[in-house]
Amino acid sequence: MTPDNPSDWLWRQKHHDFAVVDRLTVEEMPDIPHIDLVPKILEGDAAKLPCLLLLSSMSSNDRTRLFERNDRAIETGDTPLFRTLLATDVSAEYLARHLCSQLVVELPQGRFLLRYYDPRVMHQLAWMLSPARFMALLGPVRTWTMLCGKTWMSAPCPSGEDAPRSLAPISRKQGDRLLSIDLINAVIAQSNMTEQVDRQDSGRRIYALLGHARQKYGFLDDHDLVAFAQHGLRLGEKFDEHPRVLEIIASLDDEISFRDACDVLDEDVWQSIRTDLENTRNTISRPPTFPENGTTS
């Protein structure tokens, strides 16, 4: 994401005519013009699905007050009404139809609700989806602005054009990535990352760690997977090669989970593991030294 000036609410108000509201995060919708984004297949769950706020239909004063209230909620740690803003040249009805069409995707593993209106999800979709599929998601949107922590990030979209008419089906690999989004975001949330961290890069690393834990150790429990990825993110992808970690994994049984086994270790033990791993990496990366006679030492 390459920010323009999204931290300035006046810029955000001027450059965006639409906002997307995640109904699951708000107790009651205010009296603001909006269009519900509800695919026919999910009509029974309308109250749980997003809606499109028509900001351009509001008076200037009402719109200003709305942005001020939203920013105030962010600053005080309350839940803002919206965390996604969109700019486009198409009508509200056209945009709503497009966004609605992107909510449910068919994976080889089954139907999947694509919660692109949640910034934590949207941050990961650029690398999880194929370029063509991601372009199809953006469709006619010119600028997609979203909240990351307390920072607004704004990115111009590649084309701002209609989605491609013909798309290859989502592959199983892409489906596996999408199905891992909740776990990836759980790791990010519990790792206390700063807002400046590259969340896409972190998402890729976490996804690789989750796959490693499943394939090498047969981890299936979400808590164990999150714990494994957290330690890998903190200590390095090969942290599980440390003898103490291997000892923990070897001790697991039906009564002891990986997360529980890790939780009983105090910080001094983890610091010792970290130091050992750093020393190992430094030894491997250190270039060989050559004496003056030209032979290796």
Question: What pLDDT score does 196 carry?
Answer: 54
Question: What pLDDT score does 192 carry?
Answer: 74
Number of neighbouring beta carbons within 10 Å of residue 209: 24
Which mean pLDDT values do the consecutive 10-residue runs of the chain (297 residues) have?
57 87 90 94 91 94 92 92 94 96 94 94 92 90 90 73 68 95 94 70 94 96 96 92 94 91 92 90 60 48
Question: What pLDDT score does 297 carry?
Answer: 42
Q: pTM value?
A: 0.84
Question: What pLDDT score does 194 carry?
Answer: 59
Helix (H, G, I), strand (E, B) or coil at 12: helix
What phi, psi does 185 have (nearest 5°)?
-70, -30
Q: Which two tokens stand for residue 189?
A: 């949330």
Within a domain: 293: no
Segments forming the whole domain that contains residue 98: 9-170
Statement to judge: residues 190 and 156 lie in one domain: no
Statement to judge: residues 214 and 74 lie in one domain: no
Statement to judge: residues 203 and 157 lie in one domain: no
CA dist 161 → 12, 136, 139, 158, 165 (Å):
22, 9, 6, 9, 11
Statement to judge: residues 163 and 220 lie in one domain: no
Beta-carbon contacts of residue 269 (< 8 Å; ≥ 6 apart): 244
Statement to judge: residues 256 and 161 lie in one domain: no
Within a domain: 290: no
Question: What pLDDT score does 280 carry?
Answer: 82
| Number of independent structural domains in the chain | 2
Statement to judge: residues 154 and 202 lie in one domain: no
Statement to judge: residues 150 and 275 lie in one domain: no
Within a domain: 295: no
